[in-house]
Amino acid sequence: MSEQQIKITLAQLNPTVGDVTGNAAMARAARDKAKGDGADLVVLPELFIAGYPPEDLVLKPAFQSACRAEIEQLARETADGGPAMLIGTPWVEDDKLYNACALLDGGRIAALRFKANLPNYGVFDEKRLFARGPAPGPVTVRGVRIGVPICEDIWLEESEEYENVVECLAETGAEILVVPNGSPYARDKADLRLSIVVARVTESGLPLAYLNEVGGQDELIFDGASFVLNADLSVAAQLPAFEENITTLVWRKTADGWRCNGPVTPQLEGDKADYAACVLGLRDYVRKNGFPGVLLGISGGIDSALCAAIAVDALGADRVRGVMLPFRYTAQVSLDDAARLAAALGIRYEVLPIADAVNGFETILAPVFAGLERDITEENLQARARGTLLMAISNKTGAMVVTTGNKSEMSVGYATLYGDMNGGFNPIKDIYKTEVFRLSSLRNSWKPDGALGPSGEVIPVNIITRPPTAELRENQTDQDSLPPYDILDGILERLVEREEPLADIIAAGFDRDVVTRIDRLLNIAEYKRRQAAPGVKVTRKNFGRDRRYPITNRFRDFGKALPAPDEQLVTRGSRASVEAFEG
């Protein structure tokens, strides 16, 4: 008796939301490759034909019809005797809209499976878009019964609200589990995915192929990193992260069930994964929205330096333009470091002094400001002059302005609306300042596969070691107004990602006055964040998609008395006050 086997192609691809025709063409090309490999089935990610996540676009009847028409056309093409195709699509049936997977084979839609468990937390909002599907049974491909849980169908345990889809599939005869996903990247997400898959394989006794989308979609980054576990929990295959990949796996039936062995690609972790996510996010935002290139203000500081390196790695030096916009407070060392950075990266670089613009604004405003002291208003005029000039160059050339503020600044409002916050996309919006330093040092010794920038030291060491400064007044440093960044970021991570009560943060050793001040700044800066450019999400909770606080908000965390300072505590905080940044 001959050995029973099946060949399954995993197509880890990068669709574009709304590009139904283009996504169908990608699916067609993947099937052609699978056919060349002698595959029986090619699998594409969740909602592939629409792109993921389609958000409210999926509610548009014309869009639903366009997706269905392409699926029906792809189905007709499977009459050629080649591999079957399992592809994600929105699907309307009985006046209900489902997140579906369609099995296309033999010139027809051979089966449809609907997502049963709809995520409605964090960045997900599927309950308002889709109807919940029934508990599914397996589909049959070349005589093999394949269970098709869709993304969230494997993440949740059974409850009154959720189905145990994997258990249902196992009980109805599934032999292999194939899971199409649209799972966004977040730091340490790979470990979480693996633990979920281990749990499902353990409870079902079935091997599982986890296929994930790759690419950037607005703030979300899909890292791919698809993998397969055999029923004994051995890693059968591991696809690369942050890049497209089409791999055909040969599955063989043994006395213990189906198993396969394929390539296992080492994965990026930690800061390397975060950096690769930032590069992919900027690249796809520029590419998918049709910008010819980008420009950014080069200040001689570390934030703009890191953004410039990310931009060159994403797009190539020929599509990146740096502009230094000095004023009388700009130190010569900043001019020198900015020039060295531009030369190391090989980008076009210009110096446009802003004194005439700032002085002109002050002259115009002199009658209005008569009798009033100089303050942060005049400092913000500098930032807004720079923002105006960058936007003018953008309007003239079509290049998108890259915003360069980090998460620490965005948290406490240490940024100027319509000034340094100008721009179309921010690759480091979800990166704290302490992480900016780490990623900059990392980039000088490493770059991700596929990066288009030069190897070696591209960010001058002096930029990394020099105290950060906005240079809006004489001898200014960030630490004049903020606590040291290791302290600030430690407090912010507890406030933003963990949502810890102030009392708990203070009990952990942070200074009471600093904690309450940072909490106040975080709250009053919400109106700025609502007007900020989108940016890459890398943490568990970013501003925008994850953390959506009201702008008008009178609540403060003083519901119960905070503990008095305890001199016995090991205090890691600073007792220096923090200025408010209302501009």
Catalytic residues: 46, 115, 151
- Alpha-carbon distance of 34 to 179, in angstroms, equals 18
Cis amide linkage into residue 180, ω under 30° from 0: no
- Residue in the structure block whose two tokens are 């029973």: 4
User: Strand 144-147 to strand 176-181: parallel, antiparallel, or no bridges (unpaired)?
Assistant: parallel
**Token pair for residue 522?**
């975080």
In contact, 204 and 169? CB cutoff 8 Å:
yes
**Tokens 């790979």 belong to which residue?**
190
Nearest residue to 449 via CA among 273, 246, 228, 210: 273
Amino acid identity for residue 351 in this structure:
V
Type of residue found at 34 = A
Phi, psi at 530, each rounded to 5°: -65, -25
Of the candidates 441, 406, 429, the residue with the CA atom closest to the CA atom of residue 303:
406
CB 33 within 8 A of CB 246: yes
The strand order across the sheet containing 176-181 reads 139-141, 144-147, 176-181, 208-212, 227-229, 235-238
Q: Write the CB contacts of 14 (distance below 8 Å, at least 6 apart in sequence).
A: 213, 214, 215, 222, 244, 284
Q: What residue type is 231 in one-letter code?
A: A
Rounded CA-CA distance 151/211 in Å is 9
DSSP-derived 3-state class of residue 142: coil
